[in-house]
Every structure is written in structure tokens, then in C-alpha cells.
Structure 1
Amino acid sequence: MRYLYSYLKNIISVTLMTSMNQLVKISRPLGRMFQQRSMYDNPYVTRFKQKSKVSPNHFKQSTGLTGLFVVEYPHRSLKIIYGRILRTLEKMPATSIYRISTENIIKNRLALVEEEADIQKLEAKIGMGQIEEVIQQGELELQAARAVLESKAWEPLPEKPAPEQWRWPVV
């Protein structure tokens, strides 16, 4: 009982401390409960930390969008992402509506990426905003394709739905 009381007393006193030095001194006997980590160990910060500086010769230095940094070589990134999406889609049945529609869009965009070397013209041909936004959309589509593959959304439902389930509007 005495051990539990001292343990709880230490936890309560640690939460009341405001100085970082005192917090570290008291938290050391508590083990790994309180860890010091730099700001760059935070996953949110690393996600939005600029990867590298853009060369001064690049046609734009900023996207103008917070957290979205300029990609100097977008063709390479898009080819990698689109290739991954197509490989994921190949694992789905050929009759899947998601596979058919997504494959059509991705193959069309991949052809544009391979034919157009100028980034600004490529942005105009794709018509979905800046090329960095297109890369971000591709990454999100890859996550969606993997989720559809994992859930096997093309398979029939395990139970037959109620007859009124798909009726709209619900009364």
C-alpha cells in the first residue's frame, strides 16, 4: 500500500510540475512514462517538414499551400505512385467497377506524364490543380485502392440486405 501511495504521489506531483527540468528529474524513476523527444520525432511534424530545398532555377519556389512543398521531379514521383496503384488494381477481379474506372483514369494520366515533359503543360493537361496536388491525390488513391483490396468490396454481402435498406428517402 505504501508503494502504491508513493507511486501515485509521484505521478500527481509530476503532472503539477511546470518546469521541464523538474519534470525530468522526477520522471526518471517512473521509467518510460515520460519521454523526451524532439519536435522532429513527432509524426505530424515530419509529415509536413520540407524534404529538401528547391533549386533556385526551378520555375516555382512555393506551392502557396501550407504543408504542400514543391516537388522538383514530379514525373518520377507520379510514375512510381501510378505504377503502385496499377499493381494494386491488378489484384482485383477484372469485373470490379472500382478497378475498371480507376484503371482508366490512372492509365490516362500515366500516358500524359510520359508524353509531356513540361511541368506547367502537364498541370494544364491533367487539370486537377498544381502537380504537387496531383501527387497528393495519387497517394490518397493508392491508400483507397489498398483499402478496397483489403475489404474485398467486390464480393457479395455475407447476408442478404433488408428489402427496404436501399430505398431513399428513408421515411
Structure 2
Amino acid sequence: MNKKIQPPLGLVDHNNLKTGEEILSTINYEMFPDEKNLLIKKGNYLVISTDFYSKMKKKRRLTQSEYPLTALPWIINQIENGFFKKKDEGGFSNFERSITAEFSEETIGINMMVHCCAENTPGLNIWNGNRKSYISNNTPQKWDIPHYMLKNSLLEELKKIADKYS
């Protein structure tokens, strides 16, 4: 695993996009109705940007996770053909719970989750081990996605983005 920490891309202001920043889609998490989650293209990166109310800071804040766009086809393939298929269909075994790969000197990983965003809600955690969280200032940056959201439409949306930009 590459340990070099990449410099931050800089937070995307949802209401004041800069040159090279493009909103691709909105993601609605029913368990977090007060959050605004956007998929954004920023340079050669897919950014998952979240505007949320911080109970600790008592104000609205931004955070985001960043993935090289070149990793998106791999992420989609691992979800679709690894995590979502049974072993006899070519998918991962019940013992395979995570996978990693390198893209643009960044280690991208996907982990299975039993409690993703809510108790007993299966999902995936997609992470970038070479970028620090904008909140905790620790690695990795993470994006949690319940299975049902991927199956309902998000995976198809990610495929369209991959086809357009990868």
C-alpha cells in the first residue's frame, strides 16, 4: 500500500463552483435528510461532497472524499462482479470482505459493511488510503453506501459517469 499522503484538492463550495468543478449528480440518503450529498467532477477526480449540520460545531460544514476517476471503472466492477455476485457466479466468497488496488499512486479500497449508515443496513465502504479526512485530518477518506442505494440507481449513475470521464 502506498503511504504517501496526497495534498488535499480543497473543499468544493456547493454554491460557488470554481473552474474545473462540475456537479454530476445528487445522492439522497434517507437516514440523513438534512445532508446534501453531491457527486462532483473536480479535475481528474470524482468527489463525494457532503454539506451537513455539525452538532459539535453547531453550524453547517462541508466534507468530501476524493477518488481518481481512473479508479471508477474498477470500483464499479468490484461492486457488480465481486461483492454483488455469489461465489458460484464468479463473485467473492463469503470470506472476502475487502479489496484494494492502486490508481495514480493512491490506494483505493472497498470493504463490506453490516451496519452501513444505519443498524442492520448492509453496504460498502469505499476509501482512499492516501488522502486525509477533512474532518479528522486522518487517513483514509471514506464513502459509505448502502447496498439498496447502489441497486436502486446509484450504480447505474456511477456507470454513466465512468463512461463519460474514464
**TM interval, short-chain normalised:** under 0.3
- TM-score if structure 1 supplies the norm length? 0.22
Instruction: Name whichever structure is richer in strand by fraction.
Output: 2
- What TM-score do you get using the length of structure 2 for normalisation? 0.22
Larger Rg: 1
User: Where is the helix percentage greater, Structure 1 or Structure 2?
Assistant: 1
